[in-house]
Amino acid sequence: MGVVRDIFIGLSENKVLNDASKQMGLRFGAQKVVGGTGVEDTLKCINDINNQGMNVTFDNLGEFISDKSEATTEKNNIIKMIKAVQDKGASAYPSVKLSQIGLHIDEEFCYQNIREIIEAAKKTDMFVNLDMENYVSKEPSMRILDKLLKEFDNVGTVIQAYFYDAKKDVRKYKDQRIRLVKGAYKEPTTLAYQSKNDIDQSFFEIIKTHLVEGEGFTSIATHDHNIIEKSIRFIETQNIPKDKFEFQMLYGFRKEYQEELVKRGYNMCVYVPFGTDWYAYFMRRLAERPQNLNLVVKSVTKSKRFRAGAIGVAALIVVSGLVKLLKK
């Protein structure tokens, strides 16, 4: 499965395919995992989730941002959604990738953009989460977070368990609201654990650390029921109140389990991506769970309007090649 994962990670980094996908709308099963392409359809998705007793964090999808004008456009898209959520009184907050608003263009420019976003959210005490990306982005992202924490109390970030320094980072931000994840990018052995067992062990350790060592709110973001149930047992033995943590899952994944956890009295937050720039996100979801290839197969084979354009050809090649790989 490692080969399959690497293929999808590689596809997620293909700018040509990413650009072509923007002209097609949601395709190949992406509509199952992306909340919408615009404000109105995404708000409908958010309201549906809220009505099921769940909170939402929304992510404006955007990749390959290379100049300040593009970054400014993405910043404005995020603020537009923040204001729409505030106007509708929905229960939701933004998750922001700093690379999307200028991190690798100009760090100070990026800081001013995220500061503007946080100020817009602050008007209704809305939280803002800084998504964490690959290791190259980690240090500058932390610098920006540290600067923001001197002024704002409605901002937090993500810590990825596969990095060797994850526990150190958890302790540094033990009093902040933090999302804990396993990690979704391909990183070298010099920086990150590679085996599932090592990553799972690190993940559970940082969950325990953040729950008991500080005052911060803990978001446990995973679809792994073994980790979730293990965390619940730990939480119960430590008498940790339910208002100190939540579980997070991606939109379109394990919906029945999400509903079950809510019925059991646990807080659930659903990560809802939106926008026309869905391709790279979708490829990363397939990288994490190649079984989701079924979404692509069903969409391609059932769509009456399917045309063998740039994405169509790519999807068919990927599907045929991966079917062969998965049968080996």
Do residue 203 and residue 323 come from a single domain? no
Residues 28 and 127 in one domain: no
Task: Please report which confidence band the pLDDT of residue 34 belongs to, taking 50, 70 and 90 as the band edges.
Answer: confident
For position 283, what pLDDT does the model report?
A: 66
- Give the model's confidence band at 82: pLDDT under 50 very low, under 70 low, under 90 confident, else very high: very high
Task: Confirm whether 284 is domain-assigned.
Answer: no
User: What pLDDT is stored for residue 5 in this prediction?
Assistant: 58
In-domain check, residue 252:
yes
Written as six digits, the tokens of 117 are: 């976003």
Residues 191 and 251 in one domain: yes
Mean pLDDT score, 129-142? 94
Confidence of residue 197 (pLDDT cuts 50, 70, 90): very high
- Looking at the structure of the chain, the number of domains it has is 2
Specify if 272 maps to a domain: yes
Residue 159 lies in a domain: yes
Q: Are residues 26 and 147 both part of a single domain?
A: no
Which helix or strand (DSSP H or E) is residue 21 part of? helix 15-21
* Lowest-pLDDT range of 29-38, 211-220, 226-235, 289-298: 289-298
Task: Let me know if residue 112 belongs to a domain.
Answer: yes
Active site residue 179: yes
Helix or strand run (H / E) with residue 159: strand 155-160
Nearest to 14 by CA among 287, 271, 307, 252: 287
pTM of the predicted model, to two decimals? 0.82
Q: For residue 55, which phi and psi values (nearest 5 degrees)? A: -85, 170
The pair of structure tokens assigned to 239 is 């008498």
Say yes or no: 272 and 328 in one domain: no
pLDDT at 211 over 50: yes
Q: Cα-flanking dihedrals φ and ψ of residue 266, to 5°?
A: -100, 150
**Is 146 a residue whose pLDDT tops 70?**
yes
What pLDDT sits at residue 65?
84
Same domain, 162 and 243: yes
**Same structural domain for residues 18 and 100?**
no
Q: Using an 8 Å Cβ cutoff, are 180 and 203 in contact?
A: yes
End-to-end CA distance of the chain: 10
CA distances from residue 143 to 146, 148, 173 in whole angstroms, order as listed: 5, 9, 13
- Whether the pLDDT of residue 300 is over 50: the answer is no
Q: Percent of the chain having pLDDT more than 70?
A: 74
* 37 has pLDDT over 70: yes
Q: Is 146 a catalytic residue?
A: no
Q: Which comes out higher in pLDDT, residue 22 or 97?
A: 97
Q: Which of 57-66, 96-105, 170-179, 213-222 has the lowest mean pLDDT?
A: 57-66
Does residue 285 belong to any structural domain of this protein?
no
Whether 283 is covered by a domain: the verdict is no
Residues 111, 8 within the same domain: no
Q: Is the pLDDT of residue 119 over 80?
A: yes
210 and 118 within one domain: yes
Q: What is the pLDDT of residue 279?
A: 67
Count of beta carbons in the 10 Å neighbourhood of residue 63: 18
Residue 26: domain span = 1-32+290-328
Rama region for 55: left / alpha / beta (φ>0; ψ in -120 to 50; rest): beta
Do 207 and 87 lie in one domain? The reply is yes
Does residue 41 sit in the same domain as residue 23? no
Query: Mean of the per-residue pLDDT values for the chain?
Result: 84
Helix (H), strand (E) at residue 129: strand 128-131
Name 56's Cβ contacts closer than 8 Å, sequence gap at least 6. Answer: 46, 49, 50, 90, 91, 92, 93, 269, 270, 271, 272
Per-residue pLDDT at 8: 56
Is residue 123 predicted with pLDDT exceeding 90?
Answer: yes
User: C-alpha angle with apex 238: 234 to 243, nearest 5 degrees?
Assistant: 90
pLDDT band, very low/low/confident/very high, at 184 (cuts 50, 70, 90): confident
Which one of the listed residues 179, 200, 277, 285 is annotated catalytic?
179
What is d(CA 316, CA 21) in angstroms, rounded to the nearest whole number?
14
Question: Residue 19, class by beta-carbon neighbours within 10 Å (0-12 exposed, 13-18 middle, 19+ buried)?
Answer: middle
Residue 282 resides in a domain: no
Same domain, 265 and 317: no
Question: Which tops the pLDDT comparison, 115 or 134?
Answer: 115
> Over 70: is that where the pLDDT of 79 sits?
yes
Instruction: Please identify which of the residues 131, 169, 200, 277 carries the catalytic annotation.
Output: 131
96 with 117: CB under 8 angstroms? yes
| pLDDT value of residue 276 | 75
**Backbone angles phi and psi of 181, in degrees to 5:** -135, 170
